[in-house]
Each structure stands twice: as C-alpha cells, then as structure tokens.
Amino acid sequence: MKESRKSKLHRREFFKKSVVGIIGSIGSIYANTNFGVANDFKRPSSPTDLDWSAINSNFILKNGVTYMNNASLGMPPMIINDAVKAGYDGISKEPLHGKRKLQDKISKKVIPLLASTFNVKTDEVILTRNASEALFLQTLGLVLKKGDEVVLSTQEHPAALKPWMHRGSKDGVILKYVFIPSPLVSKQDTVNRLMSAVSSKTKAISFCHVTRGGHRYPVKEIADLARRKGIATLVDGAQAVGQFPIDIKNLGCDAYSASLHKWILAPSGSGFLVVRDSSKRFFESPFDLKASTVNSFFDPPGTKDYPVRAAVGTALNFINRIGLDNIEKRCRYLSNYLKEGLKKMEDVKILSSYNHDLSAPGSTIFEKKNLDALDSVKIFEKEINFHIDEHQRDGHNAIRVSTHFYNTTDQIDLFLDTLNSI
Ligand SMILES: Cc1ncc(COP(=O)(O)O)c(C=O)c1O
C-alpha cells in the first residue's frame, strides 16, 4: 500500500521530468552575467503544473523527498549554491580583492535590486542574517522611554516577541497584547482590535504581515491609522516576502523586517530590514554609527558574509524572472487544490481562509480529529518522505503545509491519500 502510493508519484514525476529534460535540451541556457546561470524556462503563463515544470530542473532536492515546509526554510535552486561558492572561491583566491568585488556587487547591484523589488530607496534597506536579527534591530532601535506603550498581537512569532520582552524588562516599556482570533474574522476586525488597545501612551504597534500560520494582516490600513496618531508601525514580513508582490512604500509602515531564505529561496542566513527615510526620526542607532555609503546607521558593523549577501542578488533575479505575481497565482492554485481535497474529509477542519485579503497564498493550516500535529510530521516523513510542519499555536493542534511553486498537484494528491488513511 505504502510502496504503491510512492511509486505512483514517482512514475508521474518521472514522466514530468522527462518532458522537462526534452524541453530543457531544446531550449538555450538562461544566462545573466551579473547573477549566474539558471536552466532555461519560460515565464509561466498559467498556474498549472505543466507550465511550471521546466523551472523545477533548477532544484536538486534529494530523490524521493517531497518538500512542503517552505515556510520554515526555502529550498534554494542550484544557481544560488553556485553563487555562494563563487563568492567564497573569490575570497580564497585573493582575499581582499575578492571581498571588495563582493562588497561592490552588493552595494551596486544587490541592494538596488532588493530596493526596487520592494519599492524602497537603497538607503532605506540593509541586509541582515535573517528576520530575527532585523526584528531585534528595529525593536531595539525604536526610541522609547519608561511607561511608553506598545501594542502587539497574540499571533506574533517568538522572533518578534523576544526583543519586545527585552524592551519591557530593560526599559520599562509596557507591552499590550491584543487577542486576534485564528482564523481571522475580517480585515476590519483585525484593525479594530489592534486600534482599540491604543491609548495616549502608545508609541508603536508591532505585528506580522503574514503570521506563522499564514494569516494575512491589513498592514496598510493599520499603518494609515497609526500614522495619523503619530504612532510608529513595525512589521514582521518574514512569511510574506516572496509569496506575493509587496510595495513597502505603499504599505506605509515605518519599519519592515523579513527573511530572504524562506519564500525568496536565497541562501540560508539572509534577510533584510527596511527603515523608511521619513521614519528615521523614530529610531536611534544601537551601534552609535554615523550613516555612510557602506553602513546605514542601523547596520551592524564588521566583516559580513559577503558571498551569501551577493547570492541574494541571484535569488532575487531568479524570483523576479518568474514574477512574484505569477508565484502568488501558482501558490494560490496549489493551496486551493489542497483545500478542495481537505474539504472532502469530514474529520478535517480547515483554518486558512479562502479570502485573499486574509490569507497568504502558500501556507495552509488545518486540524484532523484525533491526530496530533507533531506526530503527523513524523508519520509523513516516515511513511512517504514528505516534509511538512505543525502549527500547535494560536489554540490549534494544526498541521501546516507550505507549498511553493515547485510543488505539484500529484504531490498534494499523495499527501491527501495518506492523510485520509492515518
Ligand atoms: C512570522 C515569522 N517571523 C519571524 C520568523 C523568524 O525568521 P528567521 O528564521 O529568518 O529569523 C519566522 C520564522 O519562521 C516567522 O515565521
């Protein structure tokens, strides 16, 4: 039974890979001299599997493994690894030249590409090692005094909460946690709940763009109301960036922290922080640096992981070539396919919304009666070598399936078959 499920998937996947191989050998290799070479693919024109299969030849996922845990860590395509290696090779061959070449590439190419992808200015963004580091920087950098209040939602990730707890105990900042139900009720409900906690002492509201469980918050609406009251908005975009197009200027928040090693598929250990020019008055440097062309005032000083940072350009180039609008459609298509299958199971409760305003495209959470979510993660890996995650938070015993564009409907069928039988 177990074997036949697996071999069914492998037969279908093998057929697809063969088709991809033929297409790949006819097509030329896509080359961008600045950012490396990816196997050729056309920009997909629909969200179906066939339109996306050519892109999959860029990944080196171990044979037999199916990866549906992108919300934890992305699966970088081969060109990203090549770019990182090329960077370290450059440093090994001629350390200072290699370093300077990478620094040049980062400031002249990677940062401008990052800034244009998210519609901010180049001096508003710095690279970080991850979202957690960016969240620490934005939280510790905000100018606050004892007794000032900050509004937080109960759905924040520990990475966003920890720096606030630090401000609470070190600086006497008062943290006001606002309960937000999961699933979300409506955009207006989320806005109302957060704004109702605001008092004359409130100096900031800190919240996710997309929660760990995939719920999507109305950033623009919250930021607009907060700005009118002179309150800063600090956003955790770790789960949002790379799943759909994001215009940070238009969102209107003051600071925005994100991972690049999740949905953007950049090397592990990459993220960014945006602090808007017009918002810098809210912040002071935790490092006491004067801003320069090399270091923004909020950029941690010292030698950096330049090869990783340079390879962020390769990842952005790869993602932009596909198109974030296309990725959003593809991720929605796969998530809806999964939800349709889950809907047929009487003992399953879907917790992710169909409403695009309330949910991210790629992460789906649900509960299955009498199935412990943590156990399910182990069962799926042992039975069919599928990687998923649990979401035992926000009062749930939920399973989280986070599908990126490289997943297929065949994989989802096998996932649903297996879920039905456990
Ligand atoms: C909502 C959210 N914020 C922050 C983080 C931390 O991200 P990073 O590992 O890049 O620090 C995560 C990681 O899963 C997350 O889901």
128 lines ligand 1 (CB under 6 A): no
Ligand 1 site, residue 157, Cβ cutoff 6 A: yes
Long-range contacts of 376-383 (CB under 8 A, 24+ apart): 376/419, 376/422, 379/422, 380/415, 380/418, 383/2, 383/418, 383/422
- pLDDT tens readout for residues 333-367: 999 999 999 999 999 999 999 999 999 999 999 99
259: which 2 tokens?
Answer: 């991972």
Query: Residue 201's pLDDT is what?
Result: 98
pLDDT, one tens digit per residue, over 193-248 is: 999 999 999 999 999 999 999 999 999 999 999 999 999 999 999 999 999 999 99
Domains 5-78+324-421 and 84-319 share a fold: no
Q: What is the token pair recorded at 273?
A: 């922080």
- Please report which helix (H) or strand (E) contains residue 53, including its range: helix 49-53
> 């900042």: which residue's tokens?
173
Q: Could you identify the residue written with the tokens 């806005």?
A: 191
The alpha carbon dihedral of 288, 290, 296, 302 has a sign of: negative
Q: Which of 224, 314, 228 is nearest to 270 (CA)?
A: 314
Instruction: Give the span between the Cα atoms of 404 and 334, in whole angstroms.
Output: 8
Amino acid at 153: S
Which CATH number is correct for 5-78+324-421, 3.30.70.260, 3.50.50.60, 3.40.640.10, 3.90.1150.10?
3.90.1150.10
- Assess whether pLDDT exceeds 80 at residue 146: yes
C-beta 389 within 6 A of ligand 1: no
What is the distance in A from the centroid of ligand 1 to the CA of 259?
Answer: 7
- For the domain covering 84-319, report its CATH number: 3.40.640.10
What is the pLDDT, as a whole number, of residue 193?
98
What's the pLDDT score for residue 219? 98
Lowest-pLDDT choice from 38-52, 80-94, 130-144, 239-253: 38-52
Predicted local distance difference test score (pLDDT) of residue 297: 77
- In this structure, are residues 410 and 9 in contact, taking their beta carbons and an 8 Å threshold? yes
Instruction: Tell how far the Cα of 260 is from the centroid of ligand 1, in angstroms.
Output: 10
**Would you list the domain boundaries of the chain?**
5-78+324-421, 84-319
Structure tokens at 120: 């901010």
What's the CA gap between 174 and 88, in Å, rounded?
45
Average pLDDT of the residues of the chain: 92
Strand partners of residue 178: 153
Q: Give me ligand 1 centre to Cα 59, in Å.
A: 23
The pLDDT assigned to 184 comes to 97
Q: What are the tens digits of pLDDT across the range 364-380?
A: 999 999 999 999 999 99
296-330 pLDDT per residue, tens: 778 898 999 999 999 999 999 999 999 999 999 99
Name the residue of 259, 272, 308 to mutate for ligand 1: max ligand atoms within 8 A of Cβ.
259
Check pLDDT > 90 for residue 16: no
| Mean pLDDT confidence for 4-13 | 55
Helices (H), 179-274: 187-196, 219-228, 248-251
